[in-house]
Amino acid sequence: MRILVNLNSVAFIYPEMKDYLFKGVSFTVYEGEKIGLLGVNGSGKTTLLELVKGDKEPEEGNIQRFNCSIMYLKQEETASGAISVVEYMLEDEEIVRMFRKLKSMERDGIKNPLHYADLLKSFEEKGGFEKLKQIRNTLLNFGFSENTLQREVDSLSGGERRILKIASLLSQHADLYLLDEPTNFLDREGIEFLKNTIKRSKSAFIIVSHDRWFLDKTVSRILEIERGRLREYSGNYSVFIATKEREFKEKLRKKEKIEKEIERLKKMERNYKTWAGRKEKEKIGAGDKGFISHKASKLAKRAILAKTRREKRIQELEREKPWIEKIYSIRFEDVEVPSGVCLAVTGLVKSFEEKTLFSSFSFSVNWGEKVSIDGPNGSGKTTLLRILLGDIEADEGEVVWHKLSKPRYLPQSGILFNEEMKVYQLFDKELWEKARTLLGCLKVRGDSFFKKLRELSEGQKRKVELVKIILDEPNVLILDEPTTHLDYYTVELLEKALLEFKGTLILVSHDRYLVERVCERRIPILEVSQDTQPELR
């Protein structure tokens, strides 16, 4: 199997850092491999991708790239340009030029049919029609509508431009793709299509993702950056987690065994001191004037040697004791949860311009119930949440909350607070200690509590928002893609916290594991209108 990239004892440090971000990183990427790259926020996953791509150089070690093409999707990278979506995907300059000319002639009424026919033939010979067919199928599978294909790239939403960038990269047939959180902004159908595309591809992939289902379905090897070191695990995400749990139990048993042995040796030392003190008293009581027999002297020397050996063994055992990451958990406060209906929505209607999102949409949610709002991109999930909160008015219909409801909202993107604020300013002073403890459980530590929000990573900001919501003690949670920008460690903690939450949960998420494990019921947003645009030519 052909080697694409090889890293040997690679280390990296940023100028402002005291310690290396990671050190001694070695691994090989083979042709066609599908690899997941994991680690907590700030562990260096994105930096490692940049090193593999060649955008950064290592402080130590070396990276070999064996004549392979590499495409890199950055975490926040999106498509841009004052051109149509189709032209962006075509890429080949000559095909784009012919496509534009054909469209221009069609708009003008095809005044020169012979020239139009010749151009059409050339476009076909260049593979233009086959390329257009592939583009259409790809983008429709990623959730684009027929109408969107004709729009200018810069007029699309941030999510649509992100998806377009992914589709464009995957159409370029590189030897190795580096994907940093590719499932952000994709709906369930888009993730399914991306999963199938990766599985069918003969290219190699290194994927950074918090989507556990996606990793389970795509990768066969996991690389994890932990405490500045890289470890490899065979298998997908579920195998990785099971291996980590088994390793933790083994480490715990070894640690307990070592600690018992250390305690035994220390007890021997304490017993010896007690024995030696008692014998000294017996000597004094017998009238010993300081004379020590030859035999007693030998025993004393042996005792000293034995003590030295015990101390040395204790030091060895302390070094052998495995380091174990403390297992933290986060939990929402116990809140008052009445019985009956928490939320009732009746006859909801909402349209934007010519598109109707909801028509006579009705549902209810009981107290303590956990539900997910389901629907493809553009179906109005976020709009619905904002109508429930009163941020947007419905055209018709009624939203009624129970009088004791205390909802808190986590939006899909953007931050709820002024980014010039410092983290501690978000909390009342009496909650500072509790806030720092919760943030520490989520691995936001050190002086981060005193930094401005804009100085934090996207993942750290997300964690601050979660802690703020927890300390507000809501009895209703409205979460829009809460796992975006979070690392796998935090996603696992959040899942457990939501399972234990006694209040009402209304969740929008493309994370299948989260929805399947937490939510009891799904509320689908059904499409009430279809685009009826002509076929793309």
The one-letter code for the residue type at 237 is Y
At 281 the pLDDT is 58
User: Higher-confidence residue: 532 or 67?
Assistant: 67
User: Higher-confidence residue: 193 or 296?
Assistant: 193
What is the chain's mean pLDDT, rounded? 86
> What sections of 108-236 are H helices per DSSP?
113-125, 128-141, 146-149, 158-170, 188-200, 212-218
Q: 483 CB contacts (<8 Å, ≥6 apart)?
A: 210, 211, 491, 494, 509, 511, 514
- Predicted confidence (pLDDT) at residue 274 exceeds the cutoff of 70: no
User: Higher-confidence residue: 533 or 62?
Assistant: 62
- Predicted confidence (pLDDT) at residue 341 exceeds the cutoff of 60: yes
Confidence tier at 532 by pLDDT (50, 70, 90)? very low
Which region among 161-165, 279-283, 419-423 has the lowest average model confidence (pLDDT)?
A: 279-283
At 173 the pLDDT is 87
> Are residues 261 and 334 in contact, defined by beta-carbon separation less than 8 angstroms?
no
Helix (H, G, I), strand (E, B) or coil at 363: strand
> Scanning the structure block, which residue is given the tokens 């399914």?
192
Average pLDDT over residues 247-259: 84
Q: What Cα–Cα distance (Å) separates residue 238 from each residue in 153, 344, 475?
A: 38, 38, 32
The Cα–Cα gap between 149 and 209 comes to 28
CA-closest candidate to residue 463, choices 238, 237, 210, 157? 210
User: Higher-confidence residue: 240 or 95?
Assistant: 240
Q: What is the pTM of this model?
A: 0.80
Residue pLDDT, tens place only, 53-77: 999 999 999 999 999 999 999 988 8
- Predicted confidence (pLDDT) at residue 9 exceeds the cutoff of 70: yes
Rounded to the nearest 10°, the torsion over CA 140, 188, 411, 226 is: -120
Average pLDDT over residues 528-532: 38
For the sheet containing 341-352, what is the strand order?
355-366, 341-352, 396-401
